[in-house]
Amino acid sequence: MKSVDPAFTALIHYEAAHRILMGYMDYYYRFKLITKRARLRFEQRDWHGTQADAVSRISLYRQEVSKTTASLQQMLEAVHPDDDFWKQVSDAFAEEIAHFNTRNIAETFFNSVYRHTHGIGADPSVMFVVRTGSYREYQGLTSITYDFDLTGVPLRDVIYQVLDRFPFTVEWEDRNRDIRLVAERWESHPAGGAQRLEVLTSVFYRNKSAYIVGRVLDGEHVYPWILPLLHPPERGILIDALLLETDQVVSIFSYHRSYFLADISVPSDMVDFLHTFMPSKRISELYNAIGFEKHGKTVFYRELLRHFRDTASDPQEVFTSAPGIAGMVMYVFTSPRLNMVFKIIRDQFAPPKQVSAEVVKEKYDLVKRHDRVGRMADSYLFEKLSLPRERFAESCLEELRKTAPSKVELLDDSVMISHVYVEKEMTPLNIFLQRADEAMAQKALRDYGRAIKQLAAANIFPGDLLMKNFGVTRVNRVVFYDYDEIELVTDCNFRHIPEPRTPEEEMASHPWYYVGPKDIFPEEFPAFLLRSGAQLNYLKSQHGEIFDADFWNDVKQRLLAGEIMDVFPYRTGWRFLQTPPKVSN
């Protein structure tokens, strides 16, 4: 029998840490490779390739964690590692990544491998549950920006210098024209008199757009400075807008949009940069926006722990059932100051719901991987999430016991939930419409119709268009958040209701015609969306086409033909060129 080298046995914890580190390095290399392709996709107008890369990057993390876990388990088969051993592994891993630009992302990767190996919740004695450095996680030594002094320099000259920093291998349509348009808007804004411009070295890519992202510093004032770039068919690259206000850019980085593809050297420095002109956004949300959604989840968990600590003396800060009509598939609870909701799949669904829990999970996974076009809420999936029992109102605990006993374990001092989705809290649209004055209600209804159309353009049919399944965000944007019945538009069969052939058919309580499992009759939508009255009439006047099968079939045919439709994350009025322009002299 071959003897085991005692030195190897003594240092096997270091070998285990090395395996995890190599898994992380492989993940991060592949992550960077995908993001570096984004510029090539943009130049070549390979929009399908861009979308495929965005999906594959989301799957990449799970694949690398699974591969690393399998390698680790094979190596440790004969070791039977205990908690002390894993603490040694954690210490060795921390030592190796101490000076990484991406130390925080590496820590999250370690946590994922450990959880994947053990199948348990957070273990603070081994995992990197709390931050190991400053709140900013890590401060890089390499600058992530190009810096420009604006004092006494014509803004057009500065814009030329900025664009020279981002050379593309394809032609611009009319760079001089675009620089003039940017300068004119900049000069008319308070940021036009600022002293300094800082532009991130990374270009942000998503769908059919690229974004040059910067900030303007004017004393204590910080303004965003963002140039969306387009590359339309048979035209060169062009600048579509200059965005200088926080409310113009928060939607671009929103949790209801797909993650950016950006080649990032120091993620925490970039998040800190973005946070200076979007201070209302959570740090976790910004990590999501730049593609590190797993670390965003880690940071959110830290934010949650900090929330519990900061509100420990507030007797009102307890979990209760979320306001609104209770869902048949999900039980939802929240707390007053957290601004997040927790959604648990019920053990049994009330009729007429016929989906299974597994189908619901598949729908949420689809949304995670799909282009959300600013109209579907992103969510964190937690497995084995432990929450303080003292934070639950007794009525909430009782509902959990009754509705999801297989997923909830009540312990002496905690509530362990095996599977829960956590999302930003929104006001249900039906409640918003009840409380809003006429002007705000009409604005919400207009945006509801736009949401339906933009979801359709992204190949999503919500299935259940009820107002209670849509929410209104802090900035009064309508977003869809109930996914158990969503379908791809291309999988649906949109039909007109056949004309009745006899009086008996016209008076029948059930359809006299065949209805297949994928058949959709848009003419039926108004009957269950709103009561007859001013609001329904207004919705029909603004977006009546969503009640017509012809509209849906037209979208379906365009999608089947391979078209990727334009959905801009900023208002049409902010765009420079609404129609194909003539090239200026």
Question: Would you write out the chain's pLDDT as a tens digit for each of its 585 residues?
Answer: 345 566 556 789 999 999 999 999 999 999 999 999 999 999 999 999 999 999 999 999 999 999 999 999 898 887 778 889 999 999 999 999 988 889 999 999 999 999 888 866 667 778 888 765 544 445 556 789 999 999 999 999 999 999 999 999 999 999 999 999 999 999 999 988 889 999 999 999 999 999 999 999 998 899 999 999 999 999 999 999 999 999 889 989 988 889 999 998 899 999 999 999 999 999 999 999 999 999 999 999 999 999 999 999 999 999 999 998 888 999 999 999 999 999 999 999 887 777 899 999 999 999 998 889 889 999 999 999 999 999 999 999 999 999 999 999 999 999 999 999 999 999 999 999 999 999 999 999 999 999 999 999 999 999 889 999 999 998 899 999 999 999 999 999 999 988 888 877 777 777 777 888 899 999 999 988 888 789 999 999 999 999 999 999 999 999 999 999 999 999 888 999 765 444 433
Angle between helices 103-118 and 267-277 (to 10 degrees): 110
Single out the residue of 54, 109, 121 nearest to residue 368, CA to CA.
Answer: 54
Three-state DSSP at 417 gives strand
In the CATH scheme, what is the code of domain 428-572? 1.10.510
Single out the residue of 278, 276, 277, 300 nearest to residue 287, CA to CA.
Answer: 300
CA–CA distance, 179 with 174 (Å, rounded to integer): 9
Q: Are the C-beta atoms of 261 and 34 separated by less than 8 Å?
A: yes
pLDDT on residue 506: 72
List, as one string, the DSSP characters of 197-243. Answer: EEEESSPEEETTEEEEEEEEEETTEEEEEEEEEE--TTS-BEE---B
- Beta strands per DSSP E along 413-559: 414-417, 420-424, 427-428, 460-461, 470-472, 478-480, 487-488, 493-494, 519-520
pLDDT on residue 30: 96
Measured in degrees and rounded to the nearest 5, phi and psi for residue 195 equal -100, -20
Sign of the four-CA dihedral 33, 34, 35, 36: positive
Q: Are the C-beta atoms of 31 and 109 separated by less than 8 Å?
A: no
Q: What share of the chain is helix, strand, coil (3-state, %, to 5)?
A: 45, 15, 40
Instruction: Count Cβ atoms below 10 Å from residue 93 Cβ, excluding itself.
Output: 26
Instruction: Count Cβ atoms below 10 Å from residue 356 Cβ, excluding itself.
Output: 12
Single out the residue of 290, 260, 256, 254 nearest to residue 272, CA to CA.
Answer: 290
Tokens of 487: 């379908």
Instruction: Count Cβ atoms below 10 Å from residue 306 Cβ, excluding itself.
Output: 12
pLDDT on residue 580: 47
Kindly tell me the number of DSSP H helices and DSSP E strands found in the chain.
19, 21
pLDDT on residue 578: 62
CA–CA distance, 157 with 504 (Å, rounded to integer): 76
CA–CA distance, 70 with 77 (Å, rounded to integer): 11
DSSP 8-class letter at 191: G
Q: How far apart are the first and last CA of the chain?
A: 84
DSSP 8-class letter at 584: P
Please name the residue that has the structure tokens 């085991």.
4
Please name the residue that has the structure tokens 């009561």.
531
Q: Which residues are catalytic?
A: 378
Three-state DSSP at 463 gives coil
Q: Are the C-beta atoms of 233 and 45 separated by less than 8 Å?
A: yes
**Which are the contacts of 78, defined by CB distance < 8 A and separation ≥ 6?**
none
Please name the residue that has the structure tokens 């940021």.
191
CA–CA distance, 244 with 20 (Å, rounded to integer): 43
Please name the residue that has the structure tokens 């129609």.
579
pLDDT on residue 5: 60
Residue type, 148: F
What separation in angstroms does the CA of 554 have from each of 155, 401, 462, 498? 45, 47, 17, 19
pLDDT on residue 585: 35
- Total residue length of the chain: 585
| Greatest alpha-carbon span in the chain | 91
Tokens of 32: 């960077």
Run of H or E residues at 386: strand 385-388
- Beta strands per DSSP E along 320-365: 320-321, 330-334, 340-345
